[in-house]
Amino acid sequence: MDPEQKTEIQSVLSTLYPESLYPLRDFPDKEKILIRAWQDLSHQEAPANQVLLPATHLSLNELLARKPDAVVLLFRAFIERLVRKKCFDSTLHDDLIQEIITRLLADKIHKIKGSFDPSRPGAPSFTSYFLVIMRNTYYDIVRESKYRRMDSLDQPDEIAAERNDDADIHRVIIQDEVRHFDHVLRAFGAARYKIALCLKWKYRIPVHKEDVKMYLPSCTASDLRILTRDFRKQNDLELFETVLNVLNKYENTNSKSDSLRKWIDVKINDTVRHMNLFHGRSVYKNIHIEDLVILYFQHHNKNV
């Protein structure tokens, strides 16, 4: 490829795959992969006269149709991250990454091509869909193969709990923990605002007006005063009774205070399970979550 052609293709790529949508951090080899794909396609489709194809052939849609292997390689960084996060034996990483790529190339990418329709109303982005399929592929491999013992899903809580050690809580890196806790909260969707409020109440972390407004945008000033009250001198029963009187009004329900307390306890249990799956073992018990919640809100400066 002469320098002029290379400049041209690079500028087209920067338009089709802009940094804002395909950041180098997530797609570090995109230029190399896409230029290679363009050259391959040019030689395949016009071998005799060596005419290079229009670079618009490199749009994701076209690439999926003509050069699906390039699409898989484009997402290699995500595959590597998934494996490094989920598999605790680093000696298996390379094999696992290779196996995932092989399966995606052999089969899954063609299914993606057949089932992904970006023109459907509400269709997710291709990246989101691809990542879901990639994660499924990883678990398919883990469930059926020699890698089985290496995955955190195969360590039931009871077994992992035998290995638990109170000191484990201290070996974690704060930022990793806080970040992962943020992912757990975000996965609860719109309910995370209510969960965050309940956690603050439960652990007597100051609740600010912004916290309440995120969940109850129409909350009146008098109700805001109740919900942001200092509850440190009240027990859980009194606290949840007080806040539930207000919540019932906005949620149009007639729940009892105990139901809210139980609801947040279930969410705390789920959070502990999510956090332990991240570590592949029972690092956390319910009592440790309080420290994490305090640090999380400290880092996130008041609200979620």
Partner 1 sequence: MNHLSDIEKAQYLQASRNNSFGGIEPSIHNHILECFECRNSIVDLLGLFESEAGIKRVHHNAWIKYAVAAAMIPILGWALYRWIAEPLVPLAGIPLEEPVRKLEQTVIVPEISQENDIKKTNPVNRSLIADNFQPNPSLEYLAGSQVRAEAITIVAPELNASLSGDISFHWKSENILHIRILNNRGDVIHAAKSKDQYRLEEKLSAGLYYWKLETEDDVIYIGKFFIR
Site for partner 1 in 162-181 (CB under 8 A): 167-168, 170-176, 178-180
Task: Name residues contacting partner 1, limited to 193-252 (CB under 8 A).
Answer: none
Write down the least CB distance from residue 32 to partner 1, Å. 18
83 binds partner 1 (CB under 8 A): no
User: What is the size of the binding site for partner 1 (CB under 8 A)?
Assistant: 76
161 binds partner 1 (CB under 8 A): no
122 binds partner 1 (CB under 8 A): yes
Q: What would the DSSP string read from start to end of 109-152?
A: HHHHHHH--TTSTTPPPHHHHHHHHHHHHHHHHHHHSTTGGGBG
Write down the least CB distance from residue 204 to partner 1, Å. 13
154 binds partner 1 (CB under 8 A): no
114 binds partner 1 (CB under 8 A): no
Total Cβ atoms within 10 A of residue 136: 11
- Which residue, 17, 18, 147, 22, is CA-closest to 82? 147
48 binds partner 1 (CB under 8 A): no
Task: Name residues contacting partner 1, limited to 257-286 (CB under 8 A).
Answer: 270, 273-274, 277-278
The answer to whether the CB of 96 falls within 8 A of the CB of 139 is no
Binding residue for partner 1, selected from 52, 53, 105, 133, defined by CB under 8 A: 133
Binding residue for partner 1, selected from 32, 43, 81, 262, defined by CB under 8 A: 81
- Distance of CA 23 to CAs 17, 41, 94, 172, 240, Å? 9, 24, 24, 29, 45
The answer to whether the CB of 268 falls within 8 A of the CB of 201 is no
- Burial (CB count <10 Å: 0-12, 13-18, 19+), residue 149: exposed
127 binds partner 1 (CB under 8 A): yes
183 binds partner 1 (CB under 8 A): yes
The answer to whether the CB of 201 falls within 8 A of the CB of 240 is yes
Strand partners, 87: 151
84 binds partner 1 (CB under 8 A): yes
18 binds partner 1 (CB under 8 A): yes
